[in-house]
Structures are given as structure tokens and as C-alpha cells.
Chain A
Amino acid sequence: QKEVEQDPGPLSVPEGAIVSLNCTYSNSAFQYFMWYRQYSRKGPELLMYTYSSGNKEDGRFTAQVDKSSKYISLFIRDSQPSDSATYLCAMSGTGGFKTIFGAGTRLFVKA
């Protein structure tokens, strides 16, 4: 079993839709939960990160962490064609610098 599971998609939605992206994990030692966005032929860029449990909001993006279920989510409101990219979840613990990445979900937002 992989430490981090993420549905690869692709996920196709119409412009304006609410998008929900999810990851599950198995290691209860993870404390930092990140979401990266990667456009085609570019390196990933950090969108948001959360420490421990709870929600975090930044503009149209909301990150949620449910440590009891080992489940994290990223919601995108009012999705735009410019949101079309691959979204990677990532996690790390407090014992070192190693980060585990999900395989990424490919999102298409149709105009």
C-alpha cells in the first residue's frame, strides 16, 4: 500500500464548477499537508499548506485536513480554465525533511 493515494483522474468540469480533489494517507506521523499545482512542462508550485488538522482558505481555494480519517481535500470554487493543471498532494512529518507526494490528479476546466 502506498503511503499516499491520489486518484489520477482526469477530472473534467465546466467553468464555474466547484472542484474537490482528495488524498488519503496511511502514516499517522504526517503533520504538514501541502497542495501543489503543476502546469504542463513546468515544475510544481506550492498552493497551500496546513499544519495538523483543520481548514485553510486562500481566495478560491480551501484546504481541509481530517487526521482521524487520514484524508485531505482541496476545494476550488468558481473554477476557471486557468485552473487546468495537475494537482499534487504532499505530506511530511516532524522527524525529518522528507516529503511524500501523491501521484497527482489531472484537472481540466472547460470554458
Chain B
Amino acid sequence: DVKVTQSSRYLVKRTGEKVFLECVQDMDHENMFWYRQDPGLGLRLIYFSYDVKMKEKGDIPEGYSVSREKKERFSLILESASTNQTSMYLCASSSGRAEQYFGPGTRLTVT
């Protein structure tokens, strides 16, 4: 059974803190993605990676960075958390252009 796991389901951080969100997939997929999901706005792509150490900016990369040192692991970093980064963060992986497999999500609250 395919699996994408995320390091935390719920996270509460203070403004200005550095936040790490980690995602691991066990399907040997080349592509990995980070999205945020907000009511009425749907899923918006933050960053994606199509290979180890490769990354591409998505639609809303400001305030975020990513790291992919190993094929199965893709980390999202909030350099200095702000309240407008309170959201649901979803990681996904894929081997092609159609199917993406999502993790359960991390609900991040920044106070």
C-alpha cells in the first residue's frame, strides 16, 4: 500500500520561529510537492522537486524554502513563521503527470 507520511498532524508555533515540516514517501517516486490548503482557495503549490537536490518554485514560494537530500524525503521550511502562514500543509508524491499521492496533512497554527 502506497504511503506518504508527514511528521506532525498538528503544530502550534510562535511568530518568528523557524518551522520544519517533513514528508517521507515509500513509493520511490521522483516527484514530490508541498501545497498549502486554505478555505475557498483550494490547494496552492509552494515548491516541488523532480529529483534529489532539485527544486522548483511553485505559485507561492515567498517565506518558504525546501530541502531534498534523499529521494524519499522532502522538507518544507518556514524561515520565520508569520500568522498568515497558518494553514493546512499537504505533501504529495508522484511518478507521472496525473496521479499524486497525498499525506494526511499538517495543520499549522502560528500565534
Contacts and interface: CB of A to CB of B under 8 A. Distances in A.
Interface of A: 6, 8, 31-32, 34, 36, 41-46, 49, 51, 88, 90, 92-94, 96-99, 101-104
A88 B42 contact: yes
B45 interface: yes
Given A32-B97, A46-B101, A92-B98, A98 B90 contact: no
A46 B105 contact: no
Interface residues of B, number: 23
Interface of B: 4, 31, 35, 40-43, 45, 48, 50, 58, 90, 92, 94, 97-105
A41 B50 CA distance: 27
A101 B104 contact: no
Q: Output the residue of A46, A94, A97, A98 with the most chain B CB within 10 A.
A: A97
B87 to A, nearest CB: 14
